[in-house]
Amino acid sequence: MLNDSVCPDCGRSWADFRREHELGCPSCYASLRLQLKAHLSGRCGQRDQPGPENLHDQVQDCRRHLLLRAQEAAVAREDYEEAARLRTLLTGGEA
Amino acid sequence: MELRQGDAAAVLLFSQLQLARNLEGHRFFTTAGISEREQIFTELEAFRAQFFPELELVGESSQSPEKTELAIERLDAPPALRGMQGPWSEFRESGGRREIFLGCGEQIIFRTRRPGCDLLSGLEDLADWEELARDNLALAHDEHFGWLTADPELAGPGLSVQVCAFLPALFWTRRLEQTGEALAAMGFRLRSAVEEKNSALVWLENAHAFGWTEAELAARLEELASRVRTEEENALEDLAQERDAELRDAVLRSQAVLGSCCLLTREELLRRLEFCAMGARLRWLPEDRWALAALLYLSTGDAHLRAMAGEVASEADPHLDDLRASAVVKAWKDA
């Protein structure tokens, strides 16, 4: 039954998508929502898509996260000099 | 093509990010009819002309098929352009590394390329362009699926991240397949970067994007690429230890062939370049041979040679082997 769903805007069906691996228009996401959710969770895991965020902020957060991880690893291997250098970077100073 | 000339450690040659966005209220480009394609293209072109008037037009749909094929072979066009009938256009920042593609499978693509593997900085390159698109175009977005794309596995961030890597030691030790399997289990993949299906020059890329933020994807691939680089170094060390005489012989023979051959098939050339690249990494040959080998690997395919010759030769035309040999010998001697 779900396989018979058709997008009212572009006429693309779930069977069309299975054959061509491409959707026809943004409305396909609403029309084929259930099948797509199942398909994506099978292919990409169960994670929900995080909301859109400014790319500069994302990169800054990500760099901070990576520095924190590196600092933890340095402490774990008792490399305190490296841990101090990373701490300086984290607080915005120059290492 | 930006390669790290002279840097023998540059296993990871260059990286690129492509951010795809589509307009709300329109079909995706591949399913839209001709008049809707033109409408989409006009809207995107007006945005481009208003905010990026300084960009240079470097490619458009009036290109001949040979030139388009050549561009794809040289990695100068995103896969979404393959088979596109147009209209589409490519604009490049003068002297910069950023580009905009309009009217591809995904309607607008922002792309940046950097030498080495620096994907987070690449993402920063695109941040202001993406913000302009977000603020000035009605982009297709859904609370659950994120940015909407024709390929739903790209939905969410709409991001493709790629690192071009030269991995001759993994290729020759037959570990490349295992590396590919390990990457696939984590949602990433290895794909040949040249027309041959099996090659030592590969793209490391995300297989899907949904569920990730843009920065998470970039950071994850950076980390995996760094691990692949270590694997390549380990494989080369093993090869040099276990098959030293055999490898040294193959490197020196290949060096001689590349400097003096008269006819060279693409298949033989790739094997010779792989040996010379490994020889350069092991310092048996000058270090700059590594980058030269990668460059020749990319630029000696049949489509490229046909374009160089300014003619359309049949696939079996021995003239291509002649051309290939003279181009390689010249590059090898000039370096």
Residue with more model confidence, B34 or B280: B280
Distances (CA, A) of A93 to A64, A87, A90, B40: 13, 9, 7, 47
Give A7-62 pLDDT, tens digit per residue: 999 999 999 999 988 999 999 999 999 999 888 888 777 677 777 788 888 888 88
Q: pTM for this structure?
A: 0.85
- Taking any CB pair shorter than 8 Å as contact, residues of chain B touching chain A are 22, 24-28, 30-31, 105, 120, 123-124, 126-127, 130-131, 134, 140-148, 150-153, 155-156, 187, 208-216, 218-219
Model confidence band, residue B87 (pLDDT cutoffs 50, 70, 90): low
Angle between helices B266-281 and B244-260 (to 10 degrees): 120
What's the farthest any 2 CA atoms get from each other in chain B?
Answer: 65
Interchain CB distance below 8 Å, A55 and B126: yes
Interchain CB distance below 8 Å, B145 and A36: yes
Residue A22 sits at the chain B interface (C-beta within 8 Å): yes
Residue with more model confidence, B263 or B87: B263
Give B35-83 pLDDT, tens digit per residue: 888 888 889 989 999 999 999 888 776 545 555 555 555 556 555 555 5
Give B218-237 pLDDT, tens digit per residue: 999 999 999 999 999 999 99
Q: State whether residue B272 is helix, strand or coil.
A: helix
Give B121-162 pLDDT, tens digit per residue: 999 999 999 999 999 999 999 999 999 999 999 999 999 999
Omega within 30 of 0 (cis) for the link into B87:
yes
Interchain CB distance below 8 Å, B214 and A45: no
User: Tell me, what amino acid is at B64?
Assistant: S
Mutation target vs A (from B36, B213, B224; most A CBs, 10 A cutoff): B213
| Averaged confidence pLDDT in chain B | 86
Residues sharing a CB contact under 8 Å with residue B187, sequence separation 6 or more, in sequence order: A44, A45, B206, B207, B208
Give B285-327 pLDDT, tens digit per residue: 998 899 899 989 988 888 778 777 765 555 556 688 988 999 9
Question: ipTM higher than 0.90?
Answer: no
Please count the helices (runs of H) and the strands (runs of E) in chain B: 11, 10
Mutation target vs B (from A58, A68, A69; most B CBs, 10 A cutoff): A58
Give B159-214 pLDDT, tens digit per residue: 999 999 999 999 999 999 999 999 999 999 999 988 888 899 999 999 999 989 99
